Structure 1
Amino acid sequence: MLLLLCGIVFLHIAVLVLLFVSTIVSTWSATQTSTADLWVNCTTASACLAGDTGVWIQSVQALMILSIIFSILSLCLFFCQLFTLQKGGRFFLTGSFQIFACLFIMCGAIIYTVMRNTWIPSGASYGYAYILAWVAFPLALISGLIYIILRKRE
């Protein structure tokens, strides 16, 4: 049982690390000479554009931040429920918060995918932070489903 709990916590922390890295680093899109992320677009030759220039990029920023917040809350709720939940109870609240985080990741990545041609030149490729966000999506979903299925034992 202890090994299972350690595995679940490790998976959750891995999701959190992926979310932090994908939200903070500056490589959501890249060309050979420049990069663009959720906060600054440095793909134009003249100057870098701030992330507050478009409504859609602000929604992606908000969704990624909300996914981090909900994932952190989910981890805190897991530890609280681990010590307060009755024997045989399920971690529904923890799982639902993690699934909400998963949905926020998915929505943010989809909005970025659809609208990125208005933010960067059309020849740019996706960067590793964008890929990390998509990797975090199924891991968060799996984590949330594990929490919902998991029962507390002694």
Structure 2
Amino acid sequence: MDSGSEKMVKEVDIYRDTWVRFLGYANEVGEAFRALVPVGVVWASYAIATTYVSADAFDKGKKAAAEHGENPGKSTRVAVAVVDTFVWQALASVAIPGFTINRVCAASLYLLGRATRWPLPVRKWTTTAIGLSTVPFIITPIDRSVDFLLDSSLRKMYGGGSKHKP
């Protein structure tokens, strides 16, 4: 490497660039298994996903605080970073996908009950497989929709643009 050139190193965001990101999908997995597990397991999956969302928001607030040092308006910028991250993650990682998988699984269990004579355990496992297989298809449309929603509303209030990179 040339001694005059500097190596550009992108900082790894543990909440977006590592396996930790998958903790945000815990509630989708919980919803997919709802027909097979006690409801407490589903609620625990929401607790995991919500903890992930909160940790990511806290991390973005910490980074905003470090970035703005003692500059005027620091507390506002930190608050914006925390709120923007928390709202985005709560909608895109927990609420909307959880609801979507819940409804996909409920509909598939109902339809399998009406359209087949499969035993209940087979219908429940099939419903779980359908729910799990739906997750990869809903992530990008939900992320983009939440970006659009926040860019059209909350982010207009503080002049922010889309912060998430799917």
Return the structure number with greater relative CO, CA threshold 8 A, min gap 6: 1
Q: TM-score, normalised by structure 1?
A: 0.38
Q: TM-score, normalised by structure 2?
A: 0.36
Relative to total residues, which structure has the larger strand share, 1 or 2? 1
